[in-house]
Amino acid sequence: MRKINIQDCLNRIKSKDPLVFEEAFIEIEEVVSDYKDDILEALASEIDSSNKGKFIELLGLCKDASLLPLFKKELENKDKNTISWVLSAIESLDIDEGNRIVQDFKKENPEWD
């Protein structure tokens, strides 16, 4: 496992500067599964919806079906950016239950179809 300074990386992920964000994203992308718990902790304490979306995007890269309940709960979020990343994360799991959740969500929210 390649070690990174996860706290520094997560702080840079929250940057409004696209270049700083992109550099941090690239740094964590290859090892994201190794830092899933840190990202979950950051997501739980985050109040900014844009940053929540960024953390959900990272968690989606883990392709970990155990995250499905979290993703499903995040679909209750009212922020469109966050919902977009949640739907993408669920679809990336490519599992039947996730596909049903996305289909049901889109049926109940036709603007997302």
Residue 44 lies in a domain: yes
- Residue 77 has what pLDDT? 86
Q: At what angle do helices 49-62 and 18-29 cross, to 10 degrees?
A: 20
pLDDT, tens digit, 9 for 90 and up, residues 8-64: 999 999 999 999 999 999 999 999 999 999 999 999 999 999 999 999 999 999 999
- Residue 113 has what pLDDT? 80
Residue 23 lies in a domain: yes
Residue 101 tokens, joined: 């959740």
Residue numbers of the domain that contains 71? 6-112
- Residue 62 has what pLDDT? 94
Please give the Cα distance from 36 to 67 (Å, whole number).
Answer: 10
pLDDT, tens digit, 9 for 90 and up, residues 85-113: 999 999 999 999 999 999 999 999 999 98
Q: How many domains does the chain have?
A: 1
**With left for phi above 0 and alpha for psi between -120 and 50, is residue 46 left, alpha or beta?**
beta
- Residue 32 has what pLDDT? 95
Residue 1 lies in a domain: no
